[in-house]
Amino acid sequence: GESVGLHLPTLSVQEGDNSIINCAYSNSASDYFIWYKQESGKGPQFIIDIRSNMDKRQGQRVTVLLNKTVKHLSLQIAATQPGDSAVYFCAEKAGGGNKLTFGTGTQLKVEL
Amino acid sequence: GAVVSQHPSRVICKSGTSVKIECRSLDFQATTMFWYRQFPKQSLMLMATSNEGSKATYEQGVEKDKFLINHASLTLSTLTVTSAHPEDSSFYICSASLRDRNAEAFFGQGTRLTVV
């Protein structure tokens, strides 16, 4: 089956702390994963991606970890800033197509 | 990254009328465009995939006669919500990419539709 979002979990962190946002995916055929950031009233914004032949990828202040064994994806944000407050979605693509399936999403709130 | 422009950003319409939402790729030719619907505090749900010059492929449960999609050129796709009802009120988002399955998808800023 596909991941369908019905609820929006919230993660609250203090400014300067590291954030870890988790995502469980259900399609074992998925081979490409992307993290998006969505601010209120806006479209999703690309953050970082990873292919299934990797288990870790780093960007600027962000790291994505992929565990295919348990079908788990995480996004780590270092030194979280108020501007990081948004909803974060993981998305996956399965082999043979270019459709994206979005995960539930996590609301990240950064407290000063 | 490439820019995808969606218009209008907000629209209010009366029940029974039709509303057209435009999605334009401004600096690249998008062979594939996707339309999503998003309810408050929920995820993006894919409605349909449109490839330039061919009919859109709708996801299960999406009424193709109600949500008309036209992808007439490599830079423009339109979504028309026909005979709109209050339950059609939602946030509609498009994305555009090249046909290559490895191509990145670029998202528009979304359209908030309110049907009264």
Q: Give the integer Cα–Cα distance in Å for B25 and B31.
A: 10
Please check the confidence at residue B104 and state whether its pLDDT lies above 70.
yes
pLDDT average per 10 residues of sequence, chain A (112 residues): 58 97 92 94 95 95 96 97 97 81 94 92
Do B110 and B22 touch, CB atoms closer than 8 A? no
- What is the model's pLDDT at position A25? 92
Please indicate whether, in this complex, the C-beta atoms of B45 and A46 are within 8 angstroms of each other: no
The shortest C-alpha distance from A69 to chain B (Å) reads 23
Residues B22-71: tens digit of each pLDDT: 999 998 888 889 999 999 989 999 999 998 888 899 999 999 999 999 98
| Cα gap B83→B65, rounded to integer Å | 10
Min Cα separation A57/chain B (Å): 17
Asked if the Cβ–Cβ distance from B109 to A43 is below 8 Å, we say yes
Overall average pLDDT of the B92-110 stretch: 83
**What confidence score (pLDDT) does residue B100 get?**
61
Residues 6+ apart with CB under 8 A from A73: A22, A23, A24, A25, A33, A35, A50, A64, A65, A66, A67, A90
**CA–CA gap between residue A75 and residue A47 (Å, rounded):** 10
Q: Which pLDDT does position A108 carry in this prediction?
A: 97
- Six token digits for residue B91: 């946030």
Asked if B56 contacts B48 with a C-beta cutoff of 8 angstroms, the reply is yes
Its sign, for the CA torsion A103, A109, B1, B4, is: positive
- Residue B43 is nearest to which of A46, A97, A104, comparing CB atoms? A104
Round to whole Å and give the CA distance between A25 and A51.
14
